[in-house]
Chains A and B, each alone.
Chain A
Amino acid sequence: DIQMTQSPSSLSASVGERVTITCRASQSITSYLNWYQQKPGKAPKLLIYSASSLQSGVPSRFSGSGSGTDFTLTISSLQPEDFATYYCQQSFGTTETFGQGTRVEI
């Protein structure tokens, strides 16, 4: 199994701040990296696929970068509705794995 490690596990930020979450794979996954947002009691929502492609309908303040083993999700200006938990997921292997999540709090 390819292991995915996110950091930090949680962070506190204010509205308007720039937020960066990192995700590291245990081996190269080229660009097969996706990011999801989950709010309490709701199903996850796809934000970014293929490391840097913005899913349709997702605000442009979200962006992704990276390749190989190191990836980043950036929220350029945090909005009240962005307080949630964020997960990375690798889709490179025959079986796929999620990171452990990063909780973004006020």
Chain B
Amino acid sequence: EVQLVQSGAEVKKPGESLKISCEGSEYSFTNYWIGWVRQMPGKGLEWMGIIHPGDSDTRYSPSFQGQVTISADKSIRTAYLQWSSLKASDTAMYYCARRDSEAFDYWGQGTLVTVSS
């Protein structure tokens, strides 16, 4: 069965850096885009960006361009979302998801990031 397993919850201080991960299994990792979705507390889903692990082609939402970096290491079937300097407003649940031809068909369990001084 296709699985996306995300790294565990993080508690960070403003200004710190962070990299969270999403490991795919039981499918051809390099043939499907992986996307990242933010959900702030009590709010809706926000599409952040997407990467194709096969060639590292990456697209960002204008709202997140320059704020985060999406990357992937196909040798270990893992996609990443990273911040160089966290803000309190980055506190949210972050989901990775596999993009089939048109939609996100499999989702990770989510990684809760809390940024607080």
A residues bordering B, Cβ < 8 Å? 1, 32, 34, 36, 38, 43-46, 49-50, 55, 85, 87, 89, 91, 94-101
Contact = CB atoms under 8 A, between A and B. Distances in A.
Interface of B: 35, 37, 44-47, 49-50, 59-63, 95, 97, 99-100, 102-105, 107-110
Q: Please name the 10 residue pairs, one residue from A and one from B, whose CB atoms are nearest each other, closest first.
A: A43-B107, A34-B103, A49-B103, A101-B44, A98-B45, A96-B47, A91-B102, A95-B61, A100-B44, A49-B102
Contacts of B105: 46, 49, 55
Q: Is the interface of A mostly helix, strand, loop or mixed?
A: loop
Contact of A44 (B50, B59, B62, B95): B95
6 contacts: A34-B104, A44-B107, A50-B103, A91-B103, A94-B59, A96-B61
A87 B60 contact: no
Contact of B95 (A43, A85, A101): A43
A49 B106 CA distance: 13
A70 B83 CA distance: 36
